Structure 1
């Protein structure tokens, strides 16, 4: 008896086959095999029923799978355990005409998880399929209804998307906050006080206290802007200890990684973009090194916790005093556990250095999550003084790590660019009422800073905070809007909007509800409700379709002038469009196929057309093989200078001959 197991990725076949053993054959669908048609809406306006066609790759995959299905005694669909995987399973069952299709899911490619899955065969969850189908149809409605309307107004191709457009809006709005920001100069004072027994022998043996400006602010003020007052306070030298506290503070570890937090942390620690993060995590999952990497649940399952506890005890690491749990973000599906190593005793995994670095980050975060808090000794001191009848107070605070706890495994976070690491402030033991004389004081010139531009990792964090889209889609969204040059990424990774991105934002906001952050979040909730049988597919699609139709009329009446293409085709004058081909980006004429002009992409702008060498004129010499005229080819190639005669019938005739004083050597044999 042969059981055919269909997974999504070919990378899983070898590992799963070795676990299942004889009697099983594992094959891959290579992701989606069907989708909505490419050149039409593909959704019936009366019934909202989508029409599916095999993808270009899917045609061949389905043909092979039909033969495999015919030869098997039973078929099990083992696509990924998320909604998209459920939808792929349904597409396979429908396209392959499987009766009563069998479905399994597993969150790690390990012997334990796969055997557990095989013992829990179920049917397809059609509610989850409909939720995913609704997501795909909603994306299609926005893309196919709004994008052409924008393009018609602009005269060249522009794109709108249910999630991509709110993402662009976030960056545009942040950029405008930065432009409109008015810096405020304000002032503080820092006292430098001696460490007994070390100063003055060591002039650097000082600790610091900051002037508390709050009692001196005018009502409504947030910052102290009177430099004269700050200079006056900076003359204080003698102060008295009014309050001194010795305390302890604990710092708990962060939760194990979800999809979103993995993208954020890998961006910060490994300097990787979300797409690269997801590609590496996919490879590690396929190798059986980590659990499933598309998840919004920050908690581990009991088996994962038990494994980490066992490892920590064997490695002499102190565990937390009680079981750690974390609250998921609002709207999280929590379908399966957080990301963790499949085998925590494996300290290294991955086939190259990037995969290994990713695995190590995941391993450290998961293990650290179950360890004891880091513990600090904290000292706080309140100093009071007076200057010219004005009472002033200074606050000093310092802390010292006394037990690293989970930091032994995960380490300290590095400060973001522009931030400063927390300074060490070695406050000595003091007594209340004790007088202290400062060795110096200085006025601190400060200025308020505008909000920071987003990077891809911080934009991911904001999208999640706003409840826009799903973490598993963030990498593709960012790839889309940066590749279309709606957002520009500088050398340091900071994102800013292009002029096109800004005008698209203005065309959509106030006209289309999907550009509003609240609406997008509520739509995500409605997709969840379909999966939970609290709303129907028809309800969600119907109300959104009707809304879009009304809003399209508003776009036609709006006064927003969409940007025309900056780049005209040098051949016919039509707009050039930036496209992505098999070898990267290029610029093609919007009048294609009438005009086939194509230019290389140079840093987001059209480059110069590559000059083609003129063909040599046909000669009077005929090819002895096919009788077509020979061409005299002279020039310099990758291998150096060349000078020979070749048949003009190339590539059908590949005859070539040496050159002798401008004449082909026709001795009956080709020489090249």
Structure 2
């Protein structure tokens, strides 16, 4: 008896086969095998039912799988344990005509998890399939209805997307916030005191206290703008200890990784982009090294916690007394546990350096999450002085790490706010007595300037997308790849993201007209999809509402809303005709609009024509610099005329004026003392 097990990725076959042994044959669907048709909407307006066709790769896969199914005694659909995997399982069952499909799922490719899955065979969850189907149809409605309308009105190929467009908007809005930011100069004062026993031998042995500006601010103010007052306060040297406190503080570890936090932290620590992180995590999952890497649950399952605690005990690492749990973000499905090593005793895994680095990060984060708190000795002091009859206060805070706890495994710098907080740590405040008089060795005015918000990087944009509920863990990398490859968003060498003129044009066209461009829309939609999966809302109701709304909104899209900036017009360097940005099999490029007469192409560099490649143009003007556009307008179409001079292949000299709109306009004129003269030939082709 042969049992056929169908998984998604071919990379899983070897590992799963070794676990299942004889009697099982493991094959792969290679992801989706069917999708909506590429040349039509593929959704029936009458009942919103989608029509599916095999993908180009899916046709070959389905043909192979039909033979495997026919030869098997039993078929188990073991696609990934999320909605997308549930939908793939349904497509396979439908396309392969499996009458009563059997479904298994596992969150790690280990002996224990797979054997557990075989004991819990179930049918396909049609409600989850319907929720995924609703997401796919909504994406198709936005792309199929809005993108052509944008392109037609702009005269330039543009793309809108249900999740990509809000992501573009975030970057555009952040850039405009930065550009419109007006810095404010404000002030503070810092007193410096010597550390006893080290001063003056070590002039750097100082502790600091900051002026408490709050008593000197008017109601509603948060910044001190009076430099004169700050300069007076900076004359203070004699102060008295009003209050001194000493104690301890604990710092808990961060939660194990979810998909988004893994992308964020790998971006900070390993300088990896989200797509790269997901590709590496997929490989590690297929090797059986980590649990399923598409999850929004920050908590581990009981078996994972038990394994990590047992490992910690064997290594003499103190673990937390209470079981640690973390609250998931709003709207999280929490279908699968957080990402962790499948076998915590395995310290290294991965086929190359990048895989090993990512595995180590996952291992450290998961293990650290169950260890004891880091502990600090903390001190705080309130000092009081006087300047020109006015009482002034200074506050000093310091802390010293006494027990690293989980930091032994993961290190101290977990997040930006924690890094900022750690800057207080070196302040070595000594033990002080209340009422004691102190003398500062120096005081200085602190000139401060408010700073604009930072531009996004890919990792921080992922964090913002998650915070706003835009997209799902499995989609963040694809969103970023989409908007950067289309050059709607540009990335500088340091990783900072800025919008291109095209991205700004799309944002301005959509915002205020289409609801899907609102930043709260996708959060609300995700809630609707969850309700479909829970059988609390119907697929038809969600799609009907979206369909009707899009039709109404398309009527309000005006051409003026999507006019491209003038900077987006680029002349061909060979013939002067306009260049057009096109999508090829290897990405975007720029081609001459006079094709086939002029075959000039240029690479795409961040949404603009790049340096010219060697032209394959057969035009007689190929290789020559572009003729300058003149002030003379073509009488036929109104475009500028250009003067063309040179020698033909037959050796005959020529000198005439032609329309820069060639070949759409073939008007040409004789040269008359440097000006267009009598028409040589004309007419529109």
Aligned 8 A contact 2:487 2:606 in 1 = no
Q: CA deviation at 1:498?
A: 0.9
Q: Which moved more, 1:56-65 or 1:413-422?
A: 413-422
Partner of 2:127: 127
**Structure 2 contact 154–559 (Cα < 8 Å) conserved:** no
Contact (CA 8 Å) 1:299, 1:325: kept in 2 or not? yes
* Residues in 2 aligned to 1:594 and 1:537: alpha-carbon distance in whole angstroms: 51
Moved more, 11-20 or 46-55: 46-55
CA positional deviation for 1:298: 0.5
What is aligned with 1:435? 437
Do 2:78 and 2:103's aligned partners in 1 also have CA atoms closer than 8 Å? yes
- Given candidates 551, 556, 559, the residue that maps to 2:553 is 551
1:600 aligns with 2:599: no
* 1-structure distance, mates of 2:53, 2:601: 30
Given candidates 462, 474, 478, the residue that maps to 1:472 is 474
Residue of structure 1 equivalent to 2:653 = none
Displacement after TM superposition at 1:586 (Å):
3.0
Does the alignment pair 1:308 with 2:280?
no
Matched, 1:167 2:170: no
Correspondence 1:527 to 2:505: no
CA deviation after TM superposition for structure 1 residue 556, in Å = 3.2
TM-score, length basis structure 1: 0.88
Verify the 8 A CA contact 1:150 1:562 in the aligned structure 2. Answer: no
Change (3 A) 1:590 1:553: farther
Q: Deviations over 1:193-247 (max 9, x none)?
A: 1111221222112100000011111333221111111111111110000000001
Q: In structure 2, the residue corresponding to 1:189 is in which secondary structure? A: strand
Aligned to 2:499: 497
CA spacing shift, 1:567–1:90, aligned 2, 3 Å: farther
Partner of 1:579: 583
Q: Is the partner of 1:247 in helix, strand or coil?
A: strand
Q: Which is further off, 249-258 or 600-609?
A: 600-609
| Alignment correspondent of 2:423 | 422
Asked whether the 8 Å contact 2:506–2:562 carries over to 1, the reply is no
| Cα distance between partner residues in 2 of 1:560 and 1:96 | 45
Distance 1:527 1:571, change over 3 A: farther
The answer as to 2:147 corresponding to 1:147 is yes
Question: What is the deviation of 1:602?
Answer: 4.2
Report the 3-state secondary structure (helix = DSSP H, G, I; strand = E; otherwise coil) of the residue aligned with 2:392. Answer: strand
Cα distance change on mapping 1:44 and 1:415 into 2, 3 Å: closer
Establish whether residue 566 from structure 1 lines up as the match of residue 569 from structure 2: yes
Shift of 1:603: 5.2
Paired residue for 1:457?
Answer: 459
3-state DSSP of counterpart to 2:556: helix
Aligned to 1:488: 490
Say if 1:505 and 1:382 are closer, same or farther in 2 by CA, change over 3 A.
Answer: same
Shift of residue 507, structure 1, vs aligned partner: 0.8
Matching residue of 2:664: none
**In the aligned structure 2, how far is the partner of 1:253 from the partner of 1:101?**
43
Q: Distance in 1 between matches of 2:192 and 2:296?
A: 47
**Do the aligned residues in 1 keep the contact of 2:490 with 2:606 (CA within 8 Å)?**
no
- Aligned to 1:193, what secondary structure does the other structure show? strand
Q: 1:609, CA displacement in angstroms? A: 3.5
> Shift in Å at residue 559 of structure 1?
4.7
Matched, 1:222 2:222: yes
TM-score, reference length from structure 2: 0.87
CA contact (8 A) 1:4 1:26 kept: yes
CA 415–163 in structure 1, closer or farther in 2 if over 3 Å, else same? closer
| Aligned 8 A contact 1:183 1:448 in 2 | yes
Structure 1 residue 39 displacement after superposition: 1.5
Name the SS of the counterpart of 2:445 in structure 1: strand
Change (3 A) 1:18 1:595: farther
| Aligned pairs for 1:76-91 within 5 A | 76-91=76-91
Deviation at 1:579, TM superposition (A): 2.6
| Distance of aligned partners of 1:79 and 1:595 in 2 relative to their CA distance in 1, 3 Å threshold | farther
Change (3 A) 1:421 1:494: farther
Any idea what SS the aligned residue of 2:409 has?
helix
1:640 corresponds to which residue?
none
Residues 143 and 258 (structure 1), Cα distance of their counterparts in 2 relative to 1, 3 Å cut: same
Q: Hey, what does 1:620 align to over in structure 2?
A: none
Partner of 1:295: 295
8 Å contact from structure 1 (residues 8, 80) kept in 2: yes
| Whole-angstrom distance in 1 between the partners of 2:64 and 2:114 | 25
The residue aligned with 1:444 is: 446
**Residues 230-279 of structure 1: per-residue CA shift (max 9 Å, x gap):** 11111111000000000111100111000011011111111111000100
Contact 1:251 / 1:374 at 8 angstroms: preserved in 2? Answer: yes
* Secondary structure of residue in 1 paired with 2:558: helix
Q: Quick one: distance in 2 between partners of 1:322 and 1:219?
A: 44
Q: What is the aligned partner in structure 2 of residue 14 from structure 1?
A: 14
Q: Are the structure 2 counterparts of residues 572 and 23 from structure 1 closer, same or farther at C-alpha, using a change threshold of 3 Å?
A: farther
Contact 1:6 1:26 in 2 (8 A): yes
- Corresponding residue for residue 95 of structure 2: 95
> Per the alignment, do residues 140 and 589 of structure 1 end up closer, same or farther by CA in structure 2, a change over 3 Å counting?
farther
Distance 1:283 1:230, change over 3 A: same
Q: CA deviation at 1:400?
A: 0.2
Alignment of 1:344-363 (within 5 A): 344-363=344-363
How far apart are the structure 1 equivalents of 2:500 and 2:604?
A: 17
Aligned equivalents of 1:129, 1:304: Cα separation in 2:
29
- CA offset at residue 580 of structure 1? 5.2
Paired residues of 1:154 and 1:563 also in contact (CA < 8 A): no
Shift of 1:558: 6.2
Mapping of 1:641-656 within 5 angstroms? Answer: none
**Alpha-carbon distance change, 122 to 535 in structure 1, aligned in 2, over 3 angstroms:** same
Written as runs of structure 1 = structure 2, the 5 A alignment for 1:196-345 is 196-345=196-345
Alpha-carbon distance between aligned partners in 2 of 1:98 and 1:156, rounded to the nearest angstrom: 46
How many angstroms apart in 2 are the aligned matches of 1:214 and 1:568? 60
- RMSD between aligned residues: 2.0
**Aligned partners of 1:109 and 1:287 also within 8 Å:** yes
Q: C-alpha offsets along residues 518-554 of structure 1, whole Å, 9 cap, x if unaligned?
A: 1221011101110000111100000000000000001
Q: Which structure 1 segments of 5+ residues have no match?
A: 615-672
3-state SS, counterpart of residue 557 of structure 2: helix
Q: 2:540 aligns with which of 538, 541, 553?
A: 538
Cα distance in structure 2, aligned partners of 1:587 and 1:421:
50
Bigger mean CA offset, 457-466 vs 405-414: 405-414
- Distance between the aligned counterparts of 1:566 and 1:35, measured in 2? 36
What's the counterpart of residue 512 of structure 1? 514
CA distance in 1, matches of 2:595, 2:259: 40
Tell me the equivalent position of 1:35. Answer: 35
> For the residues of structure 2 that align with 1:578 and 1:241, how far apart are their CA atoms?
71
